[in-house]
Amino acid sequence: MDQVQILDKTFVKYIEKKDIDAACEKMAGQINEDYKNDEPILLATLNGAIIFAAELMQKLTIRCRISCIKLSSYSGTTSTNQVKQLVGLNEDISGKRVIIVEDIVDTGVTYEHMVALLKEAKVKDIAMATMAFKPTAYKKDIPVQYVGFSIPDKFVIGHGLDYDGWGRNLPDIYQLKTEN
């Protein structure tokens, strides 16, 4: 499938699943090395990160755990610049090393919100592991440690990423088709 139609929009294939798998493998290798003497907690952001987080976790050989948090900043294909916390943290993570796992980091509003939340929870340190990153859309100074793909500021779906809830089940990543 080189093109998919979701609601009113057409998307074209952009990153193949085999390349996502390879990027995930590479990221896991780095995390295994960087956290070899630790027991980090992966904090997956629902709903988008579930697929990538599950894949990444299975490639980790270090002792690790996973927890989930649900935040929402998007409406349709644009960021609202406001983050809603829909499911919160319900365990004590103070003193722990936390790796946030995201499907995508865009403006960084969600990430900044998570960092504030985690600092309040007195975690030991925080890192970000994201499948995709839009560097030109990113407005924050917080470093993004682990990046699968740096991509242009164009809307994408698939492999966990959605357009109004649809398209998460596509194994590949698709980019919004623009007429030109």
Q: What is the contact surface with ligand IMP in residues (CB under 6 A)? A: 45, 48, 73-74, 79, 102-111, 155-157, 161-162
- In the complex with Mg ion, the residue whose CB is nearer, 48 or 108, is 48
Looking only at the bridges linking them, the beta strands covering 65-75 and 3-6 are: unpaired
- In the complex with ligand IMP, the residue whose CB is nearer, 39 or 116, is 116
**Residue 155 interacts with which of ligand IMP, Mg ion, none, CB < 5 to 8 Å by class:** ligand IMP
- Phi and psi at residue 49, in whole multiples of 5°? -85, -5
Give strand pairing partners of 72. Answer: 84
Q: Is 125 exposed, middle or buried (0-12, 13-18, 19+ CB in 10 A)?
A: exposed
Give the helix ranges, DSSP H, for 61-162. Answer: 109-120
* Catalytic residue of the set 2, 21, 92, 106: 106
**Binding segment toward Mg ion, per CB under 5 A, in 8-16, 30-38, 51-59, 98-106:** 98-106
Q: Which residue is associated with the tokens 């699968």?
A: 148
- In the complex with ligand IMP, the residue whose CB is nearer, 34 or 162, is 162
**Residue 105 interacts with which of Mg ion, ligand IMP, none, CB < 5 to 8 Å by class:** ligand IMP
Q: Figure out which of the listed residues 48, 148, 158, 167 binds Mg ion, where binding follows CB under 5 A.
A: 48
CA 114-35-70 angle, 5° bins? 25
- In the complex with Mg ion, the residue whose CB is nearer, 64 or 161, is 161
Does the footprint of Mg ion cover residue 148 (CB under 5 A)? no
Q: Which residue is associated with the tokens 């998919």?
A: 4
Q: Does the active-site annotation cover 106?
A: yes
For CA atoms 113, 114, 118, 121, the dihedral sign is positive
Residue 107 DSSP label:
S
Shortest distance, position 153 Cβ to ligand IMP, whole Å: 8
Q: Which residues are catalytic?
A: 106
